[in-house]
Amino acid sequence: MTVTLITGASTGIGEATALHLARMGHTVYASMRTPDSSGDVLRAAAQEERLDLEVMRLDVDDSTSVASAVGDVMERSGRIDVLVNNAGILKLTSVEEAPLEEAKAVFETNVFGALRMMQAVLPEMREQGSGTIVNMSSVAGRLVSPGHGIYAATKYALEALSEAVAIETRRLGIRVIVIEPGFISTPILDKGGAVEVGDGPYAVHLKRMQSLYSNARGGADPPSAVAEVIADALDDPTRRFRYIAGKDAPPVLNGRARMTDEEWIDMGREMTDEEYFAESGRRFGADGGAGTE
């Protein structure tokens, strides 16, 4: 029986992954900050479908909470085979205008939260000589759009940590997987589309990003699409490091790969919205999908 611990499972990708893996036969611990007011979908499914799935409290920003939750899983199941680091938050803002405390909060969850979790489970995985860590990145972990500087910085950092851990633990039987979704229909997508832009010096960039988020709502893949990628990655005999998820992710990453750094940066030059979205469409596909999840 594969024992899997998932963070940020109250909604979206975390919730879908918990359900998908539990239905595949995993023993799933679906964690979230406020299980008393969240997790009803998971509890109902566990009862109705007789899934080996338990909702538990875990705040990745709190070292005591992390240690307690990991200790609880070890006490109940005796092992942790898979950790899915899914908890994350979004901040859509220019770098200049980002309140420092809010920027720190994004790093606290997206980077240090994942680091806390890895440090908490790695001793157990080393002891058992096996284990897989799945870190939820984004296509924003490989390209940066205006307005995404803080968020993308956390995903770049997470990818760097993931690569280091993958190398450091290779001889120990531990595997690290990075998942890079594009636009996915989650609460983060809704928050990105609803952000207040204002009329500051970077408003034109933020409004375009807001528009991309809003327009993506209708056609974004469901969270279950990412859950399926995670499940396939866990069973992939090639043991790849990176996996992309969502139908808009390939054109975004491929389009960026065809551009020089200077061409990418030049997307920030003075131009009308019509010119911007027309160029985005040519480079990234009909929808101009230069946004990220």
Q: What is the pLDDT of residues 73-131, one digit of tens each?
A: 999 999 999 999 999 999 899 999 999 999 999 999 999 999 999 999 999 999 999 99
Rounded to 5 degrees, φ, ψ at 145 are -105, 155
Looking at residue 194, what is its pLDDT?
60
What is the model's pTM?
0.94
Q: What CATH number does domain 3-247 carry, 3.30.365.10, 3.40.50.720, 3.30.420.40, 3.20.20.70?
A: 3.40.50.720
Looking at residue 212, what is its pLDDT?
86
Which stretches of the chain are DSSP H helices? 12-23, 40-49, 63-77, 100-107, 114-128, 149-168, 187-194, 203-216, 223-235, 249-257, 261-265, 273-284
pLDDT, average across residues 38-56: 98
Looking at residue 193, what is its pLDDT?
55
Looking at residue 102, what is its pLDDT?
96
Which of 80, 27, 72 shows the shortest CA–CA distance to 52?
27
Query: In the sheet where 3-6 sits, what is the strand order?
Result: 53-57, 27-32, 3-6, 82-85, 131-136, 174-181, 242-245
Other Cβ atoms within 10 Å of 223 Cβ, number: 25
Q: What region, left, alpha or beta, does residue 252 occupy, with left being phi > 0 and alpha being psi -120 to 50 degrees?
A: alpha
pLDDT, average across residues 186-206: 80
pLDDT > 90? residue 262? yes
Q: Given CA atoms 205, 210, 215, 219 in this order, what sign does their dihedral have?
A: positive
Instruction: Determine the 3-state secondary structure of 174 from DSSP.
Output: strand
Looking at residue 36, what is its pLDDT?
93
Spatial separation of the C-alpha atoms in residues 168 and 130, rounded to whole Å: 14
- Beta strand pairing status for 82-85 and 53-57? unpaired
Strand partners, 252: none
The H or E element containing residue 183 is: none
Rounded to 5 degrees, φ, ψ at 189 are -65, -40
Q: 243 catalytic, yes or no?
A: no
Q: What region, left, alpha or beta, does residue 12 occupy, with left being phi > 0 and alpha being psi -120 to 50 degrees?
A: left
| Calculated CA dihedral for residues 162, 163, 164, 168, nearest 10 degrees | 100
Marked catalytic residue, from 29, 151, 156, 213: 151
